[in-house]
Amino acid sequence: MRKPQRYRWSSASSHVDKKIDTVLSQDCFLENEIEDWSEYLREKEDEQIIMNIRKCSMTGRPCGNDSFMKKFERLFGRRLRALPWGRPRKNIK
């Protein structure tokens, strides 16, 4: 979408216009990080990040760096990262 602030259900308009919207814009973790929301929304997305988000969404796996994944694996007590494809190779001695 070219102007996210025009989309009815986006919190972008409340951030850009600095209006309080109790449904869409409460407790945004970026609130203190971004000074100019209009400029932030015009920034070009990093294609590698977009591809990683899509890949994780399609496989149903969490999206994050290695320390993020390790933290959540400990928290849930299970593996969240994908194992290598195929059968394990035989060790020939």
CA distances from 27 to 15, 21, 23, 30, 46 (A): 12, 11, 10, 9, 25
Task: For residue 6, give both structure tokens.
Answer: 């025009």
Number of domains in the chain: 2
Q: Which residues, including other chains, have CB under 8 Å from residue 89's CB and lie 6 or more apart?
A: none
Same domain, 58 and 32: no
87 in a domain, yes or no? no
Name the pLDDT band for 79 (thresholds 50, 70, 90): very high
Rounded distance between C-alpha atoms, residue 37 and residue 51, angstroms: 24
Flag whether 28 is in a domain. yes
pTM above 0.85, yes or no: no
Neighbour-count burial for 57-76, b at 16+ CB within 10 Å, e otherwise: eeeeeeeeeeeebeeeeeee
Is 53:63 a contact under the CB 8 Å cutoff?
yes
Give 28-65 pLDDT, tens digit per residue.
777 778 888 888 888 888 999 999 999 999 989 999 89
51 and 35 in a single domain? The answer is: no
Here the tokens at position 47 are 């294609």
Same domain for 8 and 35? Answer: yes
Instruction: Give residue 30's domain range.
Output: 4-42
What are the tens digits of pLDDT across the range 2-35?
A: 777 777 777 777 778 777 777 765 677 777 788 8
Residue 25 domain-assigned (yes or no): yes
